[in-house]
Amino acid sequence: MSESRTAGTTTGPADSRGGAAIELRDVTKAYPGQPRAAVENFSMQIRPGELVMFVGPSGCGKTTTMKMVNRIIEPTSGSITIDGRDVLSLDPDELRRHIGYVIQQIGLFPHMTIAENIAVVPNLLKWSKARTDARVEELLHTVQLDPGQFAGRYPRQLSGGQQQRIGVARALAADPPVMLMDEPFGATDPITREKLQAEFLRLQSEIGKTIIFVTHDFDEAVRLGDRIAVLSERSQIEQFDTPAAILSAPANDYVASFIGRGAALKRLALVPVTAVTLGPPSSVPTTATVPHDATLRDALDLLVVLGGERVDVADSTGRVLGSLTHQDFSAAIGQAASHGTV
Amino acid sequence: MNAFSFEGLRVFLSRRSADIADLALQHLAVVLVSLAIATVIGVGIGLLVWNRPVPRTVSLTAAAVALTIPSLALLALLSPVLGLGWAPSVVALVFYSMLPIIRNTVVGLREVPAHMVEAARGMGMTRTRVLLRIQLPLAWPIVITGIRVAAQLTIGIAAIAAYVAGPGLGLYIFKGLSSLGSANALNYALTGTVCVVLLALVVDAAFVVIARLSTARGLRV
C-alpha cells in the first residue's frame, strides 16, 4: 500500500528525486495575550520522501505547525531541522526558496503569465534564462498542461483545476527537497479534487519529495498519505501512523471519531486486488470483472452492484487471473477488524 | 460696459490663437511635470506607510489638511520663498496632488489579497520585492485612478498659479478679472476658463488610455 509509493526509488530523473528528512522537536507557538499556546511541544520525525498528512479540525494548529517549517510563522521555542540543518538559523527568504509551498487559495500572481509564475523561484535563485525556460516547459509537461498552449496565458484564463496544477508546478520549480501543502485541493469541486489527487499521487511517485500536507478531510489523508498525523487542539498528536494502521487500530476515541463510519470500507480502498490470494476464476463467464490495478473496495462495489458470488480479476490484456469472494474481503481486513471499531 | 458678442469673441480668438495654444501647452506642461513629481513622492510615501498604522494616519491626515488650504493663500506663502513663475506653481500643484495619490496607493496596496502576499513570501521573495513586484503592479489600477484625480484637481488649481506669474491659461482668467469693464475682459475670462475645462477633458481621456497601457496585461478586464 503505502510502501508502493515510498519504495519506488528508481523512477524519475536523478536530479529531481528524493526529499530531505524533517525533524521538529518540542516546537511551540504561543501568541502573546492568549492563555494557551496554538501549538504545544510538537515533536515529529519525517523520513526523506515521505508524504505526511496533518489531519485535524479547523483551528487545531495543524496549519500553524506546518507554517513554522518555512517560518511563515516563527516558532516561540523548539527546533526544526531539515536534513540536520537548523532552519531557525538560516535566512528565512533563502530557506523558503528551497521549500515548495502550495496554499489553498493557490495565490498565482494575476499580472504574470503562467510561465512567469512558475519562474518566480528560479528567478530568485538567479538561474539563467535558458535553464528557467527549459524547467518551465518540463514542469508544464509534468502537470500535463501543454506548454505551447499555456505558458503565455494569464491565471484568470485557466480553470480552477488548471490553476491548482500551476500552483503545484510553481512550488516544484526549483526542485525543492521539501514541500508544504496547505489544503491545496480544498477549494476545488469533488470531481476535480479526485483528479488532482490521482495526478498528485502519480507525480509524487516520480519525484519522491518530503511533503507535509495539511487537510481536514480524513478520506483525503487516507488516500494520499504515507503516514497520517491525527491532531487535536494545540496540535497535539493523537496518533501518527500509516493509514491502514490508523483505520484498523485507532489509538483512542478522538481518532475513531475522526475516522467516522466505514473504517473497513476505507481500508479496503487501500488494498489492491492483487494483494490477496485470488481464488479460481468463476466457472461461468461473468461480467463482474475488475482490472488488476483496482482496489478491494472497487471489487466489493462491483460485487454489491451485480449481486453475484464472486468477482473476477483480469490483467491488462483481459486475461482472468482469479476471483474474489465475500470471504476474501473479510479475510483481507479480518485480523484488524476484530479490534472492533467498525 | 461693452456687451458680449460672438463676433467679438471670434475676432478675439482668431487674433490670439497662437497665444492661446502656447498658454494651453504651458498649462499642460506644468500639470504634467507636477504630476510626475507628485507620483514619485506620493507613491513613495504610500509604499513606506501603507502597513504602518501611525505613519499612515499621519500622512493621510496631513495630505487631507493640505487640501483645505486655499490655493491663493498657499501661493502667497510660497512666492516669498520660491519667487515667481514655475517654482511656486509646481510646488503648489505637487502639494495638492498628495492626498489622492497617497490615499489610492495605500488603499491599493492594502487591497492585495493576503494569501497572494503569503504565497510570494512563502516562495522566498523579500518584503521589498513583494511590494514592488507583486503588490504595486496589482495595486496599479487604483494608484493610477488617484493620479487621474490629482490631474483633474491640478488642472483647475494651475489656473490660479498665474497669480504668482505661473505658466498657463490662468493668465487669461486673471487678465479678464483685472480688466473688468474693458472690451475684452469677458473674452479673456471665458477663453481661459473654457480652455481649462477642455484641457481637463482631454487629459482625462488620455488617462483612460494611460491606465490601460500601464496596467499589466493579466489584470486588464
* Percentage with pLDDT > 90 across chain A: 58
Per-residue pLDDT tens for B152-185?
999 999 999 888 888 989 888 988 888 888 888 8
Distance CA A270, CA A267 (A): 5
Distance CA B144, CA A196 (A): 39
Phi and psi at A306, nearest 5°, equal -90, -15
Q: Closest to B134 (Cβ–Cβ): which among A95, A105, A109?
A: A109
Q: Which helix (H) or strand (E) holds A228?
A: strand A227-232
Computed over every residue of chain A, the mean pLDDT equals 86
Per-residue pLDDT tens for A265-312?
888 888 888 878 788 877 666 667 888 888 888 888 888 888 777 888
Hey, are the CB atoms on B122 and A105 less than 8 Å from each other?
A: no
Residue B124 sits at the chain A interface (C-beta within 8 Å): yes
Tell me how close the Cα of A70 comes to any Cα of chain B, in angstroms: 7
Per-residue pLDDT tens for B58-91?
999 999 998 899 998 998 899 899 988 899 999 9
Tell me how close the Cα of A212 comes to any Cα of chain B, in angstroms: 14
Tell me how close the Cα of B54 comes to any Cα of chain A, in angstroms: 21
Runs of H (alpha helix) within chain B: 6-49, 53-68, 71-82, 86-111, 114-122, 127-129, 136-160, 170-178, 185-214
Hey, are the CB atoms on B124 and A156 less than 8 Å from each other?
A: no
Q: Closest to B123 (Cβ–Cβ): which among A111, A120, A155?
A: A120
C-alpha cell belonging to residue A138: 518540463
Per-residue pLDDT tens for A144-173?
999 999 999 999 999 988 999 999 999 999
Q: Is A8 or A117 the better-scoring residue by pLDDT?
A: A117
Q: What is the pLDDT of residue A301?
A: 85
Hey, are the CB atoms on B113 and A170 less than 8 Å from each other?
A: no
Give the residue on A whose Cα is nearest the Cα of B140.
Answer: A111
Indicate the DSSP class of residue B1: -
Tell the burial category of A59 from Cβ atoms under 10 Å away from its Cβ (0-12, 13-18, 19+). exposed
Give the residue on B whose Cα is nearest the Cα of A158.
Answer: B218
Phi and psi at A246, nearest 5°, equal -70, -40
Q: Which helix (H) or strand (E) holds B31?
A: helix B6-49
Hey, are the CB atoms on B119 and A107 less than 8 Å from each other?
A: yes
Indicate the DSSP class of residue A51: E
Question: Residue A56: is its pLDDT beyond 80?
Answer: yes
Q: Under a CB-based contact definition with an 8 Å cutoff, are residues A107 and B120 in contact?
A: yes
| CA nearest neighbour of A217 among A236, A198, A197, A237 | A197
Q: What is the pTM of this model?
A: 0.81
- Residue the block writes with cell 486673471: B174
Hey, are the CB atoms on A72 and B137 less than 8 Å from each other?
A: no
Which one-letter amino acid corresponds to residue B216? A
Residue B125 sits at the chain A interface (C-beta within 8 Å): yes
Mean pLDDT across B20-49 = 95
Mean pLDDT across A248-260 = 88
| CA nearest neighbour of A58 among A189, A204, A214, A173 | A214
Chain B residues with beta carbon closer than 8 angstroms to that of A170: 123
Hey, are the CB atoms on B124 and A105 less than 8 Å from each other?
A: no
Tell me how close the Cα of A122 comes to any Cα of chain B, in angstroms: 10
Q: How confident is the model at residue A15 (pLDDT cuts 50, 70, 90)?
A: very low
**Rounded to 5°, angle at Cα A63 from A58 and A67:** 165
Per-residue pLDDT tens for A194-246?
889 999 999 999 899 999 999 998 989 999 999 999 999 999 999 999 998 99
Q: Closest to B218 (Cβ–Cβ): which among A70, A94, A155?
A: A155
Hey, are the CB atoms on B124 and A103 less than 8 Å from each other?
A: no
Chain B residues with beta carbon closer than 8 angstroms to that of A156: 218
Hey, are the CB atoms on B125 and A93 less than 8 Å from each other?
A: yes
Give the residue on A whose Cα is nearest the Cα of B119.
Answer: A107
Q: Closest to B138 (Cβ–Cβ): which among A93, A111, A113?
A: A111
* Dihedral of alpha carbons A298, A302, A304, A305, sign: positive
Interface mutation vs chain B, best among A111, A127, A163, most B CBs within 10 Å: A111
Computed over every residue of chain B, the mean pLDDT equals 92
Report CA B41 to chain centroid distance, whole Å.
Answer: 13
Distance CA A136, CA A117 (A): 9
Q: What is the pLDDT of residue A337?
A: 44
Q: What is the pLDDT of residue A6?
A: 39
Give the residue on B whose Cα is nearest the Cα of A119.
Answer: B123
Hey, are the CB atoms on B137 and A111 less than 8 Å from each other?
A: yes
Chains A and B form CB pairs within 8 A to the count of 70
**ipTM > 0.85, yes or no:** no
